[in-house]
Chains A and B, each alone.
Chain A
Amino acid sequence: MGSNISHYLNRFKACLKIDQTIRDGVAEELYTHLEDKSRELEENGLSKEEASKIAVQSLGSPELIAQQIYETHAQGSWKEALFSALPHFLVALLFTSYYWQNIVYVSIMLALIVGIAIYGWHRGKPIWIFPWLGYYLMPVVITGILLLSLPQGWGWIAALIYIPLALFVFIHIVRQTARRDWLYASLMLAPMLVTLTWFSSLGSGNELLRDGIWLAGLQTNALWIVISFIALAAATIAFIRLKARRYKIISLLIPPLVILFSVTMASRGNIDYWGWLILFFSLSAFAIPVWMQARAYQ
């Protein structure tokens, strides 16, 4: 492969943030096109270097082609958008009707999430899977937090055994997702952001399980929690339906703002440590996948 062609294809691949298999397929297609064109120009008397240079020029900007290909592949159908938002609507429904206190409804919901997430993971990770994966990972994280609430000493021992295992599963899934596109990783981490923000705003450590403070807090703030998950559902639909990458990023910024507003309203403006937690989780949800993707491209 000539240096002009290989440089062109590297620029193209660096800009195209879609499923790696599709990306490599399109790059291969462009490569065969450039080879055909170069060969024809060489037969007309040009040197190999000149031929590949003209071939690359006639194909045009690799960034522009990558953007147009991205817009073709990144936009999901309405069906996919609604299915992606479905887990958020279901969680909102749990809180609307106080079904979250019913172990049967919660178990059905959990089984549904686990089933659909595993099915999607093994069916080529379609665009709708990421919010489901986010909920799938939630019990892994919440169990770790709850372990810290065990009686003195035991909490840390349990957490020390559990945390490495949980981190392994968590990092593996986030890394796999970010390798495809860090935006999908952010979409996946968004439900966790909402849940952990509400968790942290309702109490910390042993307070979580003591005297039903946490349960009472959930009940009191159910309306604001519902609003948070509805905002997440709306942002997910917008994310899947929008074509341009910059608009997708903007759509992902909506939930943290709504949650910040909801938590502020629920606490009547009394922001303390959890206010910082919101910012921390919001930034992590975006920064971790960006960092992981940068490493994957190295």
Chain B
Amino acid sequence: MNYGRELLKGNTDSLLLCLISRQPTYGYQIVKELEKRSNGYFQFKEGTLYPALHRLERDNLITGKWQILANGQQRRYYYITERGQQVLASRLATWQDFSTAVKAVMQAETI
């Protein structure tokens, strides 16, 4: 399987938590935001988004609320919970340590 896709799969939850922690958001906006922020690098498979969001909600890391917009449309916005913030902080710290270590090894290899 594609290495990049495997990496994305392993970090989907962290990426979603990170985006939702910045501002409450909904499914379609998350897909667009991920694409935009990664300059098109993350081509998220749209169908996998909702099971991931529901998994995070089940684990009490985010919570979803239906909201009616001014134009009458309904959207389910996701908010990060306190537990979600703690998990995100811990994952970011782990990711930074991991990425620093990988960079150090890889750079030494390429010199």
Contacts and interface: CB of A to CB of B under 8 A. Distances in A.
B45 A32 contact: no
Interface string A18-40: 00000001101110110111000
B76 interface: yes
Most buried by B among A29, A61, A69: A29
A68 B51 contact: yes
B72 interface: no
A71 B52 CA distance: 11
A35 B76 CA distance: 14
A44 interface: no
Contacts of A32: 26-28, 73-76
A69 B54 contact: yes
B89 to A, nearest CB: 24
A281 B66 CA distance: 44
B27 A28 contact: no
B3 to A, nearest CB: 21
Contacts of A33: 27-28, 46, 50
Contacts of B27: 29, 32-33
Contacts of A26: 50, 54
Interface in A106-154: none
Contacts of B58: 72-73
Given A33-B28, A37-B28, A59 B54 contact: no
Contact of B47 (A28, A35, A61, A71): A61
A128 B38 CA distance: 43
B96 interface: no
Interface string B57-88: 01000000010000001111000000000000
Contacts of B48: 60, 68
A33 B26 CA distance: 9
A60 B51 contact: no
A18 to B, nearest CB: 10
21 contacts: A25-B66, A26-B50, A29-B76, A32-B26, A32-B27, A32-B74, A32-B76, A33-B28, A33-B46, A36-B28, A58-B46, A59-B47, A60-B46, A60-B47, A60-B48, A65-B50, A65-B51, A68-B48, A68-B51, A69-B50, A69-B51
Interface of B: 26-28, 45-48, 50-51, 54-55, 58, 66, 73-76
Interface of A: 25-26, 28-30, 32-33, 35-37, 58-61, 64-65, 68-69, 71-73
State the 4 A-B residue pairs at the shortest beta-carbon distance, nearest first: A60-B47, A68-B51, A36-B28, A72-B54
